[in-house]
Structure 1
């Protein structure tokens, strides 16, 4: 028969081993969403922005589709903020006022298009998968085009308003571009990066 202290030591070691295994398994499970974000963002148009915005995203993103939806939600949120910001700007020249008004309209359209993108992503299943994928890609591409068109309106205008608009809209366009990449990736076999052989 083993001495009592040996039995106690054996129980302690077994408990330690078991708790270590449980911690390792739960830690691995907790890291899964981060790994999904990392592996999904690595080939995005703006990988650092993708990683930063989606790593801090609070929603549950367990699948590539969840992640694409999260990216669109982030884009909607940022586009709404830019829309609010643009509404506060005061412009000087007639040309600048016209460019700003057009930009406000285009960014408002982007919010609507991104909202429609999110609706389509929620329907991605079964026989209608391709149809909803095509619609989602079309809407998010339209949002991105509106953001680019807004910037084009300020191309030949100088000053603080142009600088502020360019900074804010460029940032939101990059987030939207990443969302488009993550949506397009849903149609790739096993999440194969777009453009790679």
Structure 2
């Protein structure tokens, strides 16, 4: 006669099923919202990071996708500010100091746009054999973009006008998303073992 189905056997089977279920859940790929939330928590401006990247329309399934998305946000905003500055400088209004600050700012933000474009291109073509070198390039260019944005604001230090207020607000906004982009690129560089889309 076969032994009765014991309580011990039942508990063993229950624990086994529970463990397998937990393992399967743990192995599920992180969804886009979870990735954004966990990546933005320690960013320079976490709330801005969360807001801008949560509403981003492109795919963000890996840390590499997220770094690219952050650079795209920064590039888009820098481009808009560059257009605004160029148009404002073209009005030829305000004091000589304001005009000089605007001209310098146009050049600096234009340089930032170029540097962010180069960064995005580098992140879109990462290769295993040159990953570290490419990441160094990306970090250098985004850092330079941030420096240009700070220098633009410094030029308005002695200028008193409504234009200064508008410029500072717009450029600081770009600087914040650029700072977040740099954080996510640094995080990607430090997390080489994580899922990163690289070419062979």
TM-score (norm 1): 0.79
Distance 2:87 2:165 in 1: 15
For 1:70, the equivalent position in structure 2 comes to 69
For 2:31, the equivalent position in structure 1 comes to 32
The answer (yes or no) to whether the contact 1:44–1:181 under 8 Å persists in 2 is: yes
The answer (yes or no) to whether the contact 1:103–1:153 under 8 Å persists in 2 is: yes
Q: 1:78-129: CA deviations, max 9, x gaps? A: 0011111112324411111000000011111111000000111123231200
Q: 1:53-77: CA deviations, max 9, x gaps? A: 0000000010000000000001110
Distance 1:119 1:66 in 2: 13
Q: Give the alignment's Cα RMSD to 1 decimal.
A: 1.7
Distance apart, 1:139 and its partner CA: 0.6
Residues 77-88 of structure 1 mapped to structure 2, 5 A cutoff: 77-88=76-87
Distance 1:149 1:122 in 2: 28
The answer (yes or no) to whether the contact 1:123–1:129 under 8 Å persists in 2 is: no
Distance 1:51 1:136 in 2: 22
Q: 1:24-67: CA deviations, max 9, x gaps? A: x9xx97x8100000000000000000000000000001000000
Residues 1-197 of structure 1 mapped to structure 2, 5 A cutoff: 32-89=31-88, 90=91, 91-189=93-191
Alignment size in residue pairs: 164
Stretches of structure 1 lacking an aligned partner (at least 5 in a row):
1-24, 192-197
TM-score (norm 2): 0.78
**Runs of 4+ with >4 A deviation:** none
Q: Which has the higher helix share?
A: 1
Stretches of structure 2 lacking an aligned partner (at least 5 in a row):
1-24, 195-200
